[in-house]
Structure 1
Amino acid sequence: MLLALFSSFPDSGCAGGPPATTAPVFGYRVVASFPHDPAAFTQGLVVVDGQLFEGTGNYGASTLRRVDLATGRVERETRLAPELFGEGIAQWHGWLVQLTWREGLGLIRDRDSLETRETFRYQGEGWGLTQDGRHWIMSDGTAELRFLDPESRRVVRRLTVRDGARSIRFLNELEYIAGEVWANVWHQDYLVRIDPDSGAVTGYLDLSGLYPESERPSREAVLNGIAHDAATDRLYVTGKYWPRLYQIEVVPR
């Protein structure tokens, strides 16, 4: 989200590790790192058939792009209209679905050309997006996940994410991995693993130190971007304005 918006969330805190919890907390090992466009305000990340796609934000600068993973080179890009703020992306049956922040507009795009083929409307803000093979799963910056029917594009279920009695707010970019929803938490250096049936937090992935705060170019250069290649079981993460994209392995902490 925009820096100006941060002031409206005074208790969201600065980047750091997971909160006190009884849920398992995992660490990471960097397997490889790759160049990443340091001007990209990363909002969504997905790997489809070994190909990396990225959605970026900011008014007048939002894009959907196909990126060469090894070099970070943008192979193809389409820009959103200047009045649209791009958000999360997900793949769906050969298409790419992209949300917008406050405009209530979803874009369904051709995976090859990146051209918009359809649009749909939704209520409230759009932040992160993923899918479980049956539903589109959407975050809006609160502790709630919305499950949409891909045919009607209507919300069919709402789920509050909780760690015990505490709700986990500011859920942002999402990825569906091995039966769980993984989520960035805005302005935090950890991922939350979520049971999509109950909303219970099943664990945290502490990514503190992956890109130290002292080296980041701005307050908004936060962790944001999860992509899982199911065919190879490779996990990638990056952030807004980060110069690197990392392949990581989850390890006990």
Structure 2
Amino acid sequence: MPHDLSAVCEPVGMHVLLIEDDDRVAEPLVEGLHRFGFTVEHARTGADGLAAAEPAMVLLDLGLPDMDGIDVCRALRTRSSVPIIMITARDSEVDRVLGLELGADDYVSKPFGVRELVARIRAVTRRARTVPVDGGSVPSLSGGNLVCDAQRIGPLSIDRRTRRVCVHEAPIALAPKEFDLLVCLAEDPGAVCSRQQILDSVWEPNYFGPTKTLDVHIAALRRKLGDPSWIENIRGIGFRLAPPTGPRASPAAGFGPWQGAR
């Protein structure tokens, strides 16, 4: 029996700005997002989009009549950290990479379904917001601005925008794949991520390389977090991230100040 995704993707009451010049795309998209509980403002040009009040999420077409969507993305990023999902018919890897490098949070190619877009909006929102496990408060979206950029899981702090990670306020240096692995596990703290899910997310979909590389990165990440119990191995399934329950753990010795994951 097919799953009812409307029950899974419950309305979130989020203000979304859609910058899209083609009404044949925009009108059904606005209608579909309304059904999922989103409030949608539609701008038909890049200039109108840049002049709009800051939303909680931007859906940005690249093929706009007055300016390139890449330039709109660049302009938005100079003044805001609002999440941006690019929606476009362009299929060039160069466009995708450039958009992501300029600060877009995700990229979806036309044609696509509303349910897929809603799932991507929810995933980007999960990555952007704080998800505390230690009883701390969850910052709200006010006028589209995130109150806090860092996610806190017990004594662990992850800032995705600066790629800065701290344990007990002490910064730790992570290699790029180690940071991406940590972010993947932190998207839903306490939940089990299968090995294939992690490989698809951190490496690439349908990854065909040696799966042993995942175990090597898990071991390195455990060592740098200062306590192997941060990442639990669920035998035959995958891994889960949760704060250690034992004595206070400190980041592994031998790693200097955080220098960013490049």
Q: TM-score range by the shorter chain?
A: under 0.3
TM-score by length of 1: 0.23
The structure that is helix-richer by fraction is: 2
Look at both structures and tell me which one has the larger radius of gyration over its CA atoms.
2
Structure with the larger RCO, 1 or 2 (CA within 8 Å, 6+ apart): 1
The structure that is strand-richer by fraction is: 1
TM-score by length of 2: 0.23
